[in-house]
Chains A and B, each alone.
Chain A
Amino acid sequence: MNRLLNRTLIYYTLCATVILALSSPFFYFMMDRLYEDDVDEAIVLRKKEFLAQSVHELSVDDIAAWNRFNRDIRILPDTIKSKPKDVIVDEEFYDAMTPEWEPYRVLYTDVKIAGNPYVLMIRLNLVESEDLIVALTWLYFTVVFLLLIVIFFVTRITSNRLWRPFYDTIEKINQFNIEQHQALEFAPTRISEFKQLNHQLDRLIKGNLKAYRDQKEFTENAAHELQTPLAVFQSKLDMLLQDPAVNKNQAEILHSLYLAASRLSRVNKNLLLLAKIENKQFTIMEPVAIGNIIKEVLPYFEEQSLSRNLLIDTQIKSEISLNACKPLVEIMISNLILNAISHNKINGSIRIEAAADYLRISNTSEQDSLVSQDLFKRFTKFSKSTSNSGLGLSIVQQICHLHDWDIQYDYIAGNHQFTVLF
């Protein structure tokens, strides 16, 4: 209902109705006046005709016959004094045919027939105002109806033709995805507003694309540039650790520095990985057996899951082979398992389920349901654990994106559950 076309139609209908409704009394009076004037003119004309032609040929004896055949031009005796003379007035006469009282315009004027004074009455029937109103109302309705039909079709046609570039633009914007780094090609149009719209949109989109590219490049460059100083930092720590003079307190400080350094390098590596995925640097697709990858990856997490005494239940329902980028699938599965371990509780459990069309990893946790819209955002953290880089799920999401897979998060019966739908 909120479409431009419907809105236009509603406004047109309202406008047409209001204008026609307001103008109808005026129109009525105008019609009435015009009609009266016309009738009056006719009366004056008949009087002239009568005076110019008929009056000379009439004799006193003809008057009775004249009156018998002429209903509207009658010769009356000049005894009628009550009527105003030489002015056209409104008067009603009873019509036996209808039968009802009908409005007339009447003119009384003195004439001499064969030297004798008479009164000439010329009258013309007015269409009843009531009839006029009915007729006008019908006319109005017809006009409104026709007008609306015309408006409807005109609007349809204009909206479909005039607004075509507009709808085209909307369609293209809907499909726009900044991650595809592709500026939009709008259909050429001669209408200046649309030209302007497209031009401005183009400008905005290009600006956004540039900002997006710049931001990505910046992240990438920053991460790259950080690798070397980070390597220097870490190597100096390694050197310091060799010093036999290091005492217990200093060793503890060194340990904290090691932790910070490894966090830093982890965030950095993940940022670089994200940049690489977004830059579509992983293009080699090959058949990947999900079950095998799970089996290959799991041993790496043995240590970590043992330290929390986690029970890992793996169910590979069928041997699935997907066309995918193998290193990325490994990273995705690792990140999901890692996520399930690091947010787990002591003595908790992890369930890994792989079937032909999905991979599901669920884990127990002390945390309640997570807010799913922020879940995949970069640097969103749900626990106080400082080791979490806040990028793991973003990477998972990007990898799903690249393969056209869906990722879902559910919280079911105390279990956090991530499902990748192939």
Chain B
Amino acid sequence: MKILIIEDEVELAESIRGYLEGERYQCDIATSFEEAYDKIGIVYYDCILLDIMLPDGNGLKLLEELAEERKNEGVIIISAKDSLEDKIRGLHIGADDYLAKPFHLSELSARVHSVIRRKQFDNTNKIQVNELTVNLLSKSVQVNNNSVTLTKTEYDLLIFLIGNKNRVISKAAVAEHLSGEMANMMDNYDFIYSHIKNLKRKLTEAGAADYIKTIYGTGYKWES
């Protein structure tokens, strides 16, 4: 899987690359409009992360180019300008998702995961992790063909964890992912604990291995 990171802030681009490469994606970085334009012309990327505020041009232009050439890349806009118009315009032109800075790398990774999955035609509806099967269409989970009943929050949590396989996800990222930006106004992460606990219990009771690890009360990790 190839991912192009179009971001003029090198440090941020490097972090994104570091994180995503840990998930076995191949990453290229473009720090300017020109560079990005050239790279898109040569290489096919499964997913493009696009900062729309580039020093030498508006990223939305790039998006228009892609749309014109009918390329099938998944595009996630990352923007410092959390503006509704940009978001609507970007999604309208053909972006698949929009993420406002600052974001958690785990959130980005989950989104990349989901975009790529949607773009693939072979096995879009299922995620298979050993004995665990997640049906994305029916939103159902099975362990060794036994159904596991999860609440919506637990299901979201599971998808989020699997989307960041073998990476540590901070509690802050989990909280933001679960309760949405709107409700994430408090530093009260206590509620995550009970959800994690329930999810773990339900999965292990159904016969799955204990994949969810707690990292010193700071974060969680799906190990498989």
Contact = CB atoms under 8 A, between A and B. Distances in A.
Interface of A: 224, 227-228, 230-239, 241-242, 246-248, 251-252, 254-255, 258-259, 261-263, 265-266, 269, 272, 276, 281, 297, 300-301, 303-304, 306-307, 327, 330-331, 334-335, 338, 341-342, 386-387, 389, 392
A304 B170 contact: no
7 contacts: A227-B80, A248-B216, A258-B171, A304-B186, A306-B191, A334-B183, A338-B186
Contact of A239 (B18, B84, B176): B18
A278 to B, nearest CB: 15
Contacts of A235: 11-12, 15-16, 19, 102, 105
Nearest to A282: B84
B9 A228 contact: yes
A99 B223 CA distance: 136
B22 to A, nearest CB: 6
A56 B195 CA distance: 146
Interface residues of B, number: 46
B187 interface: yes
B136 interface: no
A336 to B, nearest CB: 12
B216 A252 contact: yes
A63 to B, nearest CB: 125
A300 B191 contact: no
Given A232-B11, A338-B186, A387-B185, 6 more contacts: A224-B81, A227-B102, A239-B18, A241-B168, A262-B187, A272-B82
A389 B185 CA distance: 8
Contacts of A392: 185
Contacts of B22: 242
A341 B103 CA distance: 25
A307 B18 contact: no
Main secondary structure of the interface of A (DSSP, over half): helix
B200 interface: no
Contacts of B183: 300-301, 303-304, 334, 338
Contacts of B178: 303
A241 B215 contact: yes
B168 A255 contact: no
Nearest to B84: A327
Contacts of A238: 15, 19, 104-106, 170, 173
Contacts of B168: 241-242
A261 B102 contact: yes
B174 to A, nearest CB: 11
Contacts of A262: 172, 176, 184, 187
B15 A227 contact: no
| Residue with the greatest number of chain A CB neighbours at <10 A, chosen from B105, B185, B215 | B185
Contacts of B84: 327
B218 interface: yes
B12 A232 contact: yes
A78 B89 CA distance: 131
Interface string B147-177: 0000001000000000000011011110010
B179 interface: yes
Contacts of B18: 239
B9 A334 contact: no
B81 A242 contact: no
